[in-house]
Structure 1
Amino acid sequence: MAAAIDGARTLAQMDELSRQVWQGHGSGTLADEEAQALAERLHRRRGEIREGIKPVGIPAGRASLFPPRRSATSPDKAMSRDRRRLLACSGPMPPALASRFTTGQLAVLRIVADEVAAKGVCGLCIDAIAARAGVCRRLAQGAIRLAEGDGLLTIEERRHEGRKNSPNLVRVISREWQAWMRRAGRPKAEGIGCKAIHPTDTEVLTPGKTETSTTLKKLPGRQGRLHASGSRESRRTAERAKAMR
């Protein structure tokens, strides 16, 4: 058995030898001291085999098969700053909840809320969320984890063995936040709200003038009784003046 252990070349052979050793110990063929010595030899030989295994497809000096992730930087930092400020001021969540987060975190949660409102779940990768919000990758991760810790979100991880993981699925579970998103996406009822203001004059005012260029129409003369009687008195006065002349 010791010679077979020293001559083993694969981990599968080591597993088979280990099974035989403990089967012999269980049947009484091997004593406790012999089984313990063989187990220690198995352990040392298994470590030697593992050290000699070289991963297939991974370049030398690299710990993973996937290329190293490059740190993404914004090509225009001023534009990214304006974008996250605009998103944070657009009301992504109720004020009582929004007061817990910073401007960058609110911008991230706005992107997540828009995806949840449109599709029911946010399946964007963290790089896409960070780019849309105008923040870095680490800040986007921290904002989502912070919202999860406050009980506002749930994160479903989708890990895959031997290949790249799929983006996490983020869902909004806060009832207050859900009601806020439904209210924001509800179309306004026609005829409700402020009335449209129609200006009385659509002419353009030129600088330095206080009146528009429109011509004022002359109002028609009054046709009332007082106006008619006044006209008769004026005619009589004119006739008397002619007679005296």
Structure 2
Amino acid sequence: MASAIDGARTLAQMDELSRQIWQAHTSGAVDDAGAQSLAERLHARRGSIRAGIVPVGVPAGRVSLFPPRRRPVSSDRIASRDRRRLLACSGPMPPTLASRFTTGELAVLRIVADEVAEKGVCGLCIDAIAARAGVCRRLAQNAIRLAEGDGLLTIQERRHQGRRSDPNLLRIISREWQAWMRRARGNQPKGGGCKSLHPTDKGVLTPGTTSPAVPSKKLPERQGRLEDNGSSQPARVAEAAKAMR
């Protein structure tokens, strides 16, 4: 049994030998001291076999096949702070719900709410949400988990075996929050805030003709309107009075 343990090359062989050792001990073929010695020998051999196993496709010293995650760092912390405060103060949810979250968490939920209002579901990755909200990745994750725990939204994970998983899908299920979002979208100005214009006919009209869409109307002549021929003001007044008589 000791030679078989030294000649084993795989963990499956070690498991089979361990089973045989304790079966022999149960039947009385091996005493307590012999079974203990073989078990220690088997444990040492198992450790050496495990140390020589290298995962396929994973470089030495790495625990994952995927490249290490780069920690996103804001290039302008002041701009990120101002953006975070602006989003939190823009009213992303009703005050009764907003009172449960901090400024950074409200900024994250505003980004989620905007995506849901536009597309029906938020499929942004956590790094994109954090960058738009001006917060770190961990804070964005905590804000979404807190909202899920309060029953405000749902998280649909999209995991894939052997390859990178897709971003989670976030859906808002709170009726109060949904009504707040519909009210906010209804208050937005439509058409860029311009008034509706009704342009006239662009056709060129000749003297004495009118537009087909507008009925012909003869404008009343203004009485007393005389051409300015350079005469003095009293003369023009006298001529106007004479014309009226």
TM-score (norm 2): 0.62
1:31 CA displacement: 4.9
Task: Give 1:78 shift.
Answer: 4.0
Gap change, CA 1:29 and 1:173, over 3 Å in 2: farther
Q: Secondary structure at the match of 1:171?
A: strand
Q: Structure 2 CA distance, aligned partners of 1:22 and 1:157?
A: 45
1:79-158 correspondence to structure 2 within 5 Å: 79-158=79-158
CA shift, 1:119, in A, is: 4.1
Aligned-partner Cα distance in 1 for 2:29–2:162: 40
Q: Distance in 2 between matches of 1:3 and 1:161?
A: 40
Q: Which amino acid aligns with 1:179?
A: A
Q: Note the C-alpha offset of 1:106.
A: 1.1
Return the offset for 1:35.
Answer: 5.1
2:242 equivalent in structure 1: none
Q: Identify if the C-alpha distance between structure 1 residues 146 and 66 changes in structure 2 by more than 3 Å, giving closer, same or farther.
A: same
Shift of the 118–24 alpha-carbon distance from structure 1 to 2, 3 Å rule, reads farther
SS in structure 2 at match of 1:170: strand
Q: Which amino acid aligns with 1:146?
A: L
**Structure 1 counterpart of 2:10:** 10
Q: Residues 120 and 29 (structure 1 numbering): CA distance in 2 closer, same or farther, change over 3 Å?
A: farther
- Residue 55 of structure 1: how far off its partner (Å): 3.2
- Is the partner of 2:142 in helix, strand or coil? helix
User: Which one-letter code corresponds to 1:43 in the other structure?
Assistant: H
Deviates further, 58-67 or 126-135: 58-67
Deviation per residue, 1:19-62 (Å, 9 max, x gap): 44456567x37457355554443333212211222334433444
Aligned partner of 2:177: which letter? W
Cα root mean square deviation, aligned:
3.5
Segments of 5+ residues of structure 2 without an aligned counterpart are: 196-221, 224-245
In the superposition, the TM-score normalised over structure 1's length comes to 0.62
Could you say what secondary structure the match of 1:154 adopts? Answer: strand
1:143–1:49 Cα change, 3 Å: same
CA–CA distance in 2 between the matches of 1:7 and 1:94?
70
Aligned match of 1:45: 45
**Deviation per residue, 1:58-101 (Å, 9 max, x gap):** 33444433332222122344443343333223321111111222
Offset at residue 141 of structure 1 (A): 1.8
Letter in 1 for 2:105: Q
Q: 1:68 to 1:37 in 2, by over 3 A?
A: same
